[in-house]
Amino acid sequence: MLEINVPGIAGIKANGHAVFSVRLGLMEASYDFEGTVGEIRISVKLKNTGPSAIKIGALQLLTIEKVTEPVYYNNWQSWLPFKAYWEQPLVKPLVEFADASGSSLFNATPMPELLRSNIRPSDYFIATDEIVAGFLSGEVSHPYFTWNDERENIEVWVELFGKSLSPEEELQLEELVVFHDGTLWGMLENYAERIHYHSKVNFSEFEGVGWCSWYQYFTNIDFDELKRNTGLLRELRDREGIPYSLVQLDDGYQKDIGDWLETNEKFPDLSVVASTIRENGFTAGLWLAPFSVSETSDVFMNHSDWLVHGFDGKPKLAYRNWNKRIYALDTTNPEAMAYLIRTMKSLREAGFDYIKIDFLFAGAIPGKRFDSALTPVEAYRLGMNSIRESLGDDCFILGCGAPLLPSVGFVDGMRIGADTAPSWNPDVMDIGIPSAKFSIRNAFTRSFMHRRLWLNDPDTVILRDCELTEDEKRAFVLSVGLLDGMVIQSDDLSKVSDDGFALLKEALELTGGDVRVFLDGMNGVFAACTKAAEKYNVTAFVNLTDTVRHSIKLKDMYYQWSGVKASVEEVDLLPRKIWFERTETMARNLKKRVEVREDGRHFNYYTDEPERKSDS
């Protein structure tokens, strides 16, 4: 039975309607609880009842009692995990790693003081096998949860970063919903659906297979290699029938981090790069980190006032990379905003119709901004809205390294895990360090976000001979197809064997399905099923661990979802391997489009084609 306590008030009932107010110092907090079968919606409005302005920092809203493990924690941005914990998450190793590397903790949280106090937050939502509690948007505050395994409770917090409220001024906080009936995976899906409708999410489809330069060339990519691979892609598309559609140039073309419109000595003008890709029949894609500015860039040298500052008056370190200090663009500064808009419009004019925006968390770090009235979350959304509007609805935007909830509605696709790598890397710290294992792990745990908040990007498949074994490659690539994520490849195409291309084709046969991942507290072994797929419905198990898993049962609920009648009753699964059985699809889900007429009437239209944005 769900038990919720508000500071000063105990025992809020899960069903029915309750409205009340509590005093929080000089503030009044008005609560509105609306309970229905299986869920409760909670709205909180703050009011400054004092005689002068106040600044609001971290605020505890309520406590969920009698929580049992495992507890599923979500990190605030793309690269870090959503996974199960059976005991209090360790914090010290993460802090020590950041301090030893000389970096900041903003990669892991917008509230580093929490980590330094040995508190690990779960950002935006949290889950157990009995409940899913999450906020429907991140517009002003940063919502988070903390779990105390000794007290067996979850505290619900919002951080407002010192936002000021004038006397009698009110502030409506983001709505919270708590699901408390059903399966974990069903509640997670319902949560994502609720976000979808709350934010009126719309996104463009990603068609075919993309190619990205990063995991083969990293920053060593040059124009000759880009042209050569573009030509090979055209040949493979025509000869092998692989539906290659996108060529995305990643990091390595730009003069510096922040100087995005100037290429280095390895590349011609960006318009030449885009036209070369387009002339071969592909969408031209480009990577950049729009909120990041390096200490050696022209932007930093000439416009340091465009950056987020610390209260010491100096630009505030966002993170370290490229052997440089990286600072954050202040999107509340009118001149910085004009630069951001000019950059995005110039990329469209150059011919790029697919833009990957990376290291986005930099735009949401706390600090001193031009407009001090806005929280970091509001500043981030201001920047994201300008990017969306400047690029246009007909440009596909892929987010990466992004604060997840505040990005909903601004991107078409979203990276939902760590960078992959041409090696399994199972022993690295699970804090976003490149790892094929952790990359695909998050594709399973965050699968419920796919086609509800955006298209999930599990990161690229790697098909060439490399440190990945054939079993590891097969587990990764087929999981990408099974989970229906964006399929993007990163190889020197001349180094991929016929077997590699055959594996890609096999994965493509698994795409297009309605996916369900049956989470059960195991962070390395997953059961996943699809229905209404393009070609095959699938029941699958994947073992990402280094331990053999014996006697994995084929449960009735797998058959009920996929319709795949397995030939065995249980499976023994070796380490780093995938097992699946499939059956030809007999039915497909229809996509619904709702048209609202001027008189208020709703008309529903159904099609088997994917939803797309309008051209307007």
Q: How far apart are CA 611 and CA 278, in angstroms?
A: 25
User: What is the model's pLDDT at position 586?
Assistant: 81
Q: Could you give the CA distance from residue 103 to residue 118 in angstroms, rounded to a whole number? A: 18
Nearest residue to 473 via CA among 426, 509, 527, 422: 422
Residue 212 has pLDDT above 50, yes or no: yes
Question: Helices 334-350 and 376-391 meet at what angle, rounded to 10?
Answer: 30
Chain centroid, CA 561 distance in Å: 26
Environment class of residue 523 by beta-carbon count within 10 Å: exposed (0-12), middle (13-18) or buried (19+)?
buried
Q: Is 158 among the domain residues?
A: yes
Q: Is the separation of the CB atoms in 399 and 413 below 8 Å? A: yes
Q: What is the pLDDT, as a whole number, of residue 616?
A: 32
Residue 388, in any domain of the structure: no
How many Cβ atoms are within 10 Å of 307's Cβ, its own excluded?
Answer: 23
**Does residue 613 have a pLDDT over 50?**
no
Q: Report the half-sphere exposure of 193 (CA within 13 A, side-chain side).
A: 7
Residue 611 reports pLDDT greater than 50: no
Max mean pLDDT among 71-75, 100-104, 610-614 falls in 71-75
SS3 602: strand
Rounded CA gap, 491 and 487, in Å? 13
User: What are the structure tokens assigned to 10, written together?
Assistant: 């105990």
- Transcribe 274-332 into DSSP letters: HHHHHHTT-EEEEEE-TTEEETTSHHHHH-GGGB-B-TTSSBPEEEEETTEEEEEB-TT
Mean pLDDT of all residues in 323-335: 98
Other CB atoms within 10 A of residue 609 CB: 9
What span, in angstroms and rounded, lies between the C-alpha atoms of 260 and 342?
11
The rounded distance, in Å, linking the Cα atoms of 110 and 364 is 7
| pLDDT recorded at residue 244 | 98
Domains held by the chain: number: 1
Residues assigned a catalytic role: 358, 419
| Stretch 331-340: mean pLDDT | 98
pLDDT-based confidence at residue 364 (cuts at 50, 70, 90): very high
Query: How far, in Å, CA of 240 to CA of 488, rounded?
Result: 17
DSSP category for residue 89: P
Residues with Cβ within 8 Å of 303's Cβ and at least 6 positions away in sequence, in order, are: 335, 336, 339
d(C-alpha 450, C-alpha 528), whole Å: 14
Q: Which pLDDT band, with edges at 50, 70 and 90, does 591 fall under?
A: low
| CA–CA gap between residue 285 and residue 544 (Å, rounded) | 31
- Identify the band that residue 604 occupies on the pLDDT scale cut at 50, 70 and 90: low
Instruction: For residues 109 and 112, give the distance between their C-alpha atoms in angstroms, rounded to a whole number.
Output: 6
pLDDT on residue 15: 79
**With bands split at pLDDT 50, 70 and 90, how would you rate the model's confidence at 389?**
very high
Please state the φ and ψ torsions of residue 72, each to the nearest 5 degrees.
-95, 115
Question: How many of the other CB atoms lie within 10 Å of CB of 372?
Answer: 11
CA pair distance 213, 276, nearest whole angstrom: 15
Specify the long-range contacts of residues 529-532, CB closer than 8 Å, at least 24 apart: 529/558, 529/561, 529/562, 529/564, 530/482, 530/484, 530/561, 530/562, 531/561, 531/562, 531/563, 531/585, 531/587, 531/589, 532/585, 532/587, 532/588, 532/589
Q: Average of pLDDT values for 594-599?
A: 58
Q: Would you say residue 603 lies in a domain? A: no
Digit-coded pLDDT (tens) for 136-179: 999 999 999 999 999 999 999 999 999 999 999 999 999 999 99
| Residue 45 CB partners (closer than 8 Å, separation 6+) | 29, 30, 32, 170, 171, 172, 173
User: How high is the pLDDT of residue 12?
Assistant: 78
Answer yes or no: are the C-beta atoms of 29 and 21 closer than 8 Å.
Answer: yes
For the chain, give the longest Cα–Cα distance: 75
- 469 within domain boundaries: no
Other C-beta atoms closer than 10 Å to the C-beta of 396 total 26
Q: Indicate whether 252 belongs to any domain.
A: no
149 within 8 A of 412, measured Cβ to Cβ: no
Looking at the chain, the whole-number percentage of residues with pLDDT higher than 70 is 95
Say what angle helices 436-445 and 470-482 make with each other, to 10 degrees. 20
Q: Mean pLDDT across the stretch 485-501?
A: 98
Give the relative orientation of helices 498-508 and 470-482 as an angle to the nearest 10 degrees: 30
354-357/396-399 β-pairing: parallel
In a domain, 611, yes or no: no
Give Cβ neighbours of residue 393 (< 8 Å, ≥ 6 apart).
204, 613, 614, 615, 616
Domain that holds residue 53: 4-198
CA distance 212 to 204: 19
Could you tell me the CA-to-CA distances from 536 to 394, 452, 502 in Å, in that order? 31, 22, 17
Query: Is residue 361 a part of any domain in this protein?
Result: no
CA pseudo-torsion sign 267, 363, 389, 281: positive
506 belongs to a structural domain:
no
Residue 13 scores a pLDDT above 90: no
pLDDT value of position 589: 63
Per-residue pLDDT band for 505 (boundaries 50, 70, 90) equals very high
CA–CA dist 137, 139 (Å, integer): 6
Question: Rounded to whole angstroms, how far apart are CA atoms 18 and 37?
Answer: 15
In terms of Cβ atoms closer than 10 Å to its own Cβ (0-12, 13-18, 19+), residue 615 is exposed
